[in-house]
Structure 1
Amino acid sequence: MRVLQINSVCGIGSTGRIATDIHAILAEQGHDSYIAYGRDSPLNCDTAIRIGTNLDNYVHVAKTRIFDQHGFGSKKASEDFIGKIKEVNPDVIHLHNIHGYFINVESLFRYIKEANKPIVWTLHDCWAFTGHCTYFDFVGCDCWKIEGDHKCIQKRSYPASFLFNNSRNNFNRKRKAFAGIKNLTIVTPSKWLAELVKQSFLGEYSIKVINNGIDLDVFKPTDSDFRQRFNLKNKFITLGVASTWDSRKGLSYFLELSRKLNDDEVIVLVGLSKKQQEDLPKNIIGISRTNNIQELVEIYTAANIFVNPTLEDNFPTTNLEALACGTPVITFNTGGSIESIDKYTGIIVEKGDLNQLRYEINMIKNKTKELSKKLCVERANLLYDKNNRYKDYLKTYKSLIKNNIYQ
């Protein structure tokens, strides 16, 4: 079996690591595997294929910023890449994020329809069926619906446009480009996103849920001197982790929560920028984004509770990582974030309810409510082992190839 994955990045970020994890399993089982990517240097894949150049990226960014035509730049780079696809001649093509300033979706999908190859498309967000944005839950927008207005109210959000709002035209162009593919399966990491896809113009396709997985050889309870190094020996630690802390990730709730802490409590936030760290109150310890996974594992393990106050999300990997390290999760009732926990391993708080969030933390701190570290680890081992989850993709590839042969 020969598989080509396409993603904005290779081996970095959550989607890049998912692609290389799948690549590793394919290679381990003797299959031919390639990853095509659009930006940054590739990691953990010796058969990576670059789509376009840095200059192509910059021009695509300019087209997005001025004309709000994200996904409709990089035409020559895409046509050149299609030539490389023909050389590789994959049995199945697996799409991940096809936004990110690197590919022309109309050119790509024109080839896909002509080639009539099996396609798996993992949606890591909502961009594929909106006129502009990647998420709309936070602002309560319904422009993405088939009968919606289709004029996005978030043109300054990623992929940001500073001048024109071209979202209505984008919506119609995507709808036309993505329609009519004979052998396409859409995969979502969460049931929440699957339900949204069913309501969108992509609802004509087969949709299945495959949860994200993590490396359980790495993410596991791990002792360290983290508490000693930060003088937190007898402190109750509430932890938050994000790759980028913005309003969507709920940074403001941690700042508000800090005003309600007692002297024996502290908040630790991982992933803050240097500027964000400068403005923190004394009872919040800010740690920069770290590529040292072992350090992150030690912090997860040292924490008493992991809080994810995200206001819109698909299936946050941070929840899985916390569980695997034996740390229970409190999350807002948002998107697919609630799907990774049960009543023994976490608590769901209504979105934005700071008082309930504080109450639940107190219940755990005072041991009025018991959540099991042991069951957190067991849940992660049972459901979120990346080797098992990404083997589900291999099963999907084989099924699609088989069906394609007999069509």
Structure 2
Amino acid sequence: MKKLLQINITANWGSHGKIAEGIGKAAIKQGWQSYIAYGRWANPSASNLFHIGNRWDEMRHGLASRLLDNHGLMSQKATKSLLQFVRNVNPDIVHLHNIHGYYLHYPLLFQYLRQHDIPVVWTLHDCWSFTGHCAHYEFCGCEKWKTHCAECPQKKAYPKSWLLDRSFRNFEQKKETFLSLNHLTLVPVSQWLQHQLQQSFFKHTPIHLIYNGIDTNVFSKQTEVSWVKEKYGIPAHCAIVLGVASNWYRKGLPDFLQLASLLPPSIRIVLVGLNKQEQKLAARAGIVGISRTDSQRELCSLYSAASVYFNPTWEDTFPTTNLEAMACGTPVVTYNTGGSPEAITAETGVVIAKGDIQTAATKIELLCQQPATTFEDACRQHVVRHFNKEERFSEYLELYTQLLKKNEQEGASHQAFTTNTCIKA
């Protein structure tokens, strides 16, 4: 029986953790044994779980990172414990997701993977792997990562450093460490991220694009959504413009505040994922602010009640909220940011320049004037056809099979070469 081990900051928690969970379930369905090693948070899982480190280790790692800018270079004891677990499991494939987040010593992990020559798949959800510090650089427009990071303009962005700037050394160490594997395949989740990788020190590493998907059975048009307007005091005749984020850092909250002053009273903005301070700001602008919800049913109702989903994100690799909105029949207006436009077609929404609030207001108002059914089928079918999560998870299993077959062929070729060399000698 083949064995899959995934490593991520979470297990079945948050977007990346749920992706790992879905891949694990797909592997189990095809007869694999599935394991997930995680660093910080977890929900019950179909896979066998292993918790890397503990809260105290995470705090020490976080403090050192803030003082020394050495993110990913602490947690040696926790990582050695993980490596013992890897030895016991003896996986056929190791699949990495987010290995940053104050829980892992990446040089120790990669040293083990190199020594044991295990095929590694690494799904990249951000840009941390090829920069000297930050997890994303689009907001500030930095391109130092293309040549060599130094004097980081985002030293105080995640993973925040209060004192030192180690970006030059971090870049060197990541490049040396991550390029040391003989069997590494990178999986970007968007064409945008793939293009970034092709300009980075990973340019000669095998790259296999696999988009993120969503559960199209869960995210679908809800017919009874009148309660949404009733609950939040929105008049029945008003159209809703929806925004959703788990964290609004660089996701466009100031843009929504500005947008509110440009829309007519017949269009109301509803934002999900705001903290208490953000809710106060939203209320002063006449925006309905809602805290984060873990209820997919409630989220589907909000998507379904909206006439437009607006995503003014300033940095993103491939936001699945666009997919969720369209799966519920709602068109999307988004900035031309990262991979955000890649799911949008002329039949399912509009892509505009970052920060162009006036155009956003114009496009949103035009979309709100359309009959509610105008975009439903096109939006829904586009997501079902291209972004169904089960099909995307199957792509990972196909990739595993290809890599194992290639590894076996290389092993057989090496054995034949060794045998022939010995015979001639």
Which category describes the TM-score, using the shorter chain as reference length?
over 0.9
The residue correspondences of 1:15-164 to structure 2 (distance < 5 A) are 15-145=16-146, 147-164=147-164
Q: Offset at 1:226?
A: 1.3
Say whether the 8 Å CA contact 2:311–2:335 is kept in structure 1.
yes
Following the alignment from structure 1 to structure 2, what is the Cα–Cα distance between the partners of residues 323 and 330?
A: 11
Determine if the alignment matches structure 1 residue 389 to structure 2 residue 416. Answer: no
Residue matched to 1:275: 277
**Which string of whole-angstrom CA distances, capped at 9 and with x for unpartnered residues, describes residues 33-75 of structure 1?**
0000000234324511111111111111011010000011111
Q: Equivalent residue of 1:399, what SS?
A: helix
The residue correspondences of 1:365-380 to structure 2 (distance < 5 A) are 365-367=368-370, 372-380=375-383
State how many pairs are aligned: 405
Following the alignment from structure 1 to structure 2, what is the Cα–Cα distance between the partners of residues 347 and 376?
A: 12
Residue matched to 2:416: none
**Which string of whole-angstrom CA distances, capped at 9 and with x for unpartnered residues, describes residues 135-194 of structure 1?**
11110101211x234331101111111111111111101011111311111001100000
Following the alignment from structure 2 to structure 1, what is the Cα–Cα distance between the partners of residues 176 and 270?
A: 46
Say whether the 8 Å CA contact 2:244–2:272 is kept in structure 1.
yes
Q: Offset at 1:367?
A: 3.4
Following the alignment from structure 1 to structure 2, what is the Cα–Cα distance between the partners of residues 346 and 283?
A: 25
Determine if the alignment matches structure 1 residue 222 to structure 2 residue 225. Answer: no
Would you identify which runs of 4 or more consecutive aligned residues in structure 1 move more than 4 Å? 368-371
Determine if the alignment matches structure 1 residue 241 to structure 2 residue 244. Answer: yes
Which shifted more, 369-378 or 340-349? 369-378
Following the alignment from structure 2 to structure 1, what is the Cα–Cα distance between the partners of residues 200 and 344?
A: 27
Residue matched to 1:194: 194
Which shifted more, 67-76 or 42-51? 42-51
The one-letter code sitting in structure 2 at the alignment partner of 1:213 is: G
Which shifted more, 39-48 or 266-275? 39-48
Q: Offset at 1:80?
A: 1.6
Say whether the 8 Å CA contact 1:364–1:371 is kept in structure 2.
no
Q: Equivalent residue of 2:145, what SS?
A: coil
Residue matched to 2:14: 13
Cα 1:83–1:378 change in 2 (3 A) is same
Gaps of 5+ in 1: none
Following the alignment from structure 1 to structure 2, what is the Cα–Cα distance between the partners of residues 71 and 45?
A: 28
**Which string of whole-angstrom CA distances, capped at 9 and with x for unpartnered residues, describes residues 74-121 of structure 1?**
112111211110110000000000000011110011111111111100
Say whether the 8 Å CA contact 2:24–2:35 is kept in structure 1.
yes
Following the alignment from structure 1 to structure 2, what is the Cα–Cα distance between the partners of residues 164 and 2?
A: 41
Following the alignment from structure 2 to structure 1, what is the Cα–Cα distance between the partners of residues 237 and 371?
A: 19
The one-letter code sitting in structure 1 at the alignment partner of 2:143 is: D
Determine if the alignment matches structure 1 residue 400 to structure 2 residue 406. Answer: no
Say whether the 8 Å CA contact 1:3–1:33 is kept in structure 2.
yes
Say whether the 8 Å CA contact 2:311–2:334 is kept in structure 1.
yes
Residue matched to 1:344: 347
**Which string of whole-angstrom CA distances, capped at 9 and with x for unpartnered residues, describes residues 357-393 of structure 1?**
1111122123399962110000111011110011100
Residue matched to 2:421: none
Say whether the 8 Å CA contact 2:149–2:167 is kept in structure 1.
no
CA RMSD after TM alignment = 1.5
Following the alignment from structure 1 to structure 2, what is the Cα–Cα distance between the partners of residues 234 and 359?
A: 19
Q: Offset at 1:208?
A: 1.4
Say whether the 8 Å CA contact 1:346–1:371 is kept in structure 2.
no
Say whether the 8 Å CA contact 1:265–1:283 is kept in structure 2.
no
The one-letter code sitting in structure 2 at the alignment partner of 1:228 is: E
Cα 1:194–1:366 change in 2 (3 A) is same
Say whether the 8 Å CA contact 1:52–1:102 is kept in structure 2.
yes
Q: Equivalent residue of 1:207, what SS?
A: coil
Following the alignment from structure 1 to structure 2, what is the Cα–Cα distance between the partners of residues 120 and 398?
A: 12
Residue matched to 1:320: 323
Gaps of 5+ in 2: 411-425
Q: Percent identity?
A: 42
Residue matched to 2:417: none
Following the alignment from structure 2 to structure 1, what is the Cα–Cα distance between the partners of residues 270 and 299?
A: 12
**Which string of whole-angstrom CA distances, capped at 9 and with x for unpartnered residues, describes residues 217-251 of structure 1?**
110001222123223311111100000112x1010
Cα 1:149–1:70 change in 2 (3 A) is closer
Identify which of 347, 355, 359 aligns with 2:358.
Answer: 355
Which shifted more, 50-59 or 358-367? 358-367
Following the alignment from structure 1 to structure 2, what is the Cα–Cα distance between the partners of residues 365 and 22?
A: 38
Following the alignment from structure 1 to structure 2, what is the Cα–Cα distance between the partners of residues 282 and 6?
A: 42
Residue matched to 1:177: 177
The one-letter code sitting in structure 1 at the alignment partner of 2:29 is: E
Q: Equivalent residue of 1:212, what SS?
A: coil
Following the alignment from structure 1 to structure 2, what is the Cα–Cα distance between the partners of residues 267 and 108?
A: 46
Residue matched to 2:303: 300
Which shifted more, 165-174 or 20-29? 20-29
